[in-house]
Structure 1
Amino acid sequence: MDNLKLDLNCDMGESYGAWKMGDDLAVLPFVSSANIACGFHGGDPGTMRKTVAAALKHGVALGAHPSLPDLLGFGRREIRLSPQEAYDCVVVQIGALAAVAASQGARLHHVKAHGALYNMAAKDRALADAICRAVKDVDPSLVLYGLAGSELIRAAQNAGLRAAQEVFGDRSYQSDGSLTPRTQPGSMIEDADASLQQVLSMVQRQRVTTQQGVEIEVQADTLCLHGDQPGAALFAQKIRAALEAKGVKIATV
């Protein structure tokens, strides 16, 4: 197990105005990468500035977390955009966070799409290509985080981008490798021990058991921890401690 390495990423900076989302400051000590909202589903200029500063303080890599233009629905509603419209949305959001990072003497490390945009692009190659083209045109050194084995990963590789295959410990999987939609029963794994077992299986064995009871292969480069779930900080601490006890090194991709 000594050669195993895993990046722990967390979606954060999603508070907006008077609305507070997640417990970012408590989670940051346990992760290696932060996916920071860029204003289209959550986040505002001040929140972006504060989240970048907090991540830098903890030595956590900065990532843009672009979304569909859906502030009211928190980016979780499917909105059909043309590839050009998706490209434009992603360029603007990466650019906004890159500017915030630059104002603090830092650079972005990666890009991870949020919510419905992420899940749609995991299956829609044209949409995945548009996202990857946007990332490459802004900064070809950025790493593209995408669902393991999905069209996002294939599009990134085709575009010549570095790709990090992402897995989830608190979400159940379907037999095609997709995540169970949040609207369906059993989509979220709420038991911490069950989640930990799924994570260890994906990291140590490159396998995950789907909702249908079938084992499928999965490559785990980075693990998503959701900062807005109840007890997020304790969950992150427990997952990190368990992985390190198994000899897994926690480090940015």
Structure 2
Amino acid sequence: MLAVAALSIATAVAAQAADAGPWYVACGPRPGATDLHALHADGRLERLTNGAQLNGIAARVGQAVVATLGTNGQTRIVRVVPQPSRLLASHAAGSPRLSMDGRRVAWTALSERRGRFVQDVWVKRLDRPEAARRVARIAGVLVATDFDARGVLHVAVRRPGATAVLAVSPKGPTVRLPRIDALRFGPAGLVATAQGRQITVRDGLRGAVVRTRRGAFVQGWDAAGTLLVSDTAGRLEAWDPRARTSRDLGRLACGQPYGGER
């Protein structure tokens, strides 16, 4: 069911390019009690799911994919934009990520192997009928997955005192980073990592640090190189780390943001 809620926020939102499309934001009173909303350039907040209990979203080029708790208690991956909704996976699946061209979606799923739980990483094409395929099996603590600008899927796995970022589809070298809890690839080789409330933007995984920012949580990128961030009060900001400019997007009426991209 579609519901629309009005939101009065800073006038800077109206300055967003009309053709940029909305930010897709998961928000709610707490994790696991969130719905997907579209935050439009004119400040309207449009609810796209109703009681979905999201635990992850991904948005690229006019598409939005969510991980939502199903009626059977299993988490499933569903594409909700564009309509109609399309079920992509339904077995303990979560953490969806879209490639930047919108042609592939990746997600993680728990499975049991020799009495231990491991996380499998799956990839499915969206532009043609094709079965999902498993591209990696992770025995450690999986921190994040994401596609880079070249379409390579990376996984970040926690190691003692550090985080290993592995290229898994196609396979490639491993990069060792300081311990992080978020990984988001942006356009033009930019990559944002986060440790708690500190964001670091690099020019590539091995590149120089472009900018750091304290007191903010990373949400996601848009195609223009703007990074959506939030503070502890749930206030959103569109931040351009290269230009050192930002736009205040205000506090969402739907509650705390738990992920946002466009």
Shorter-chain TM-score tier: 0.3 to 0.5
Indicate the structure with greater strand content.
2
Q: How does the TM-score come out when normalised to structure 2? A: 0.32
Indicate the structure with greater helix content.
1
Q: How does the TM-score come out when normalised to structure 1? A: 0.33
- Highest RCO, 1 vs 2 (Cα 8 Å, sep ≥ 6): 1
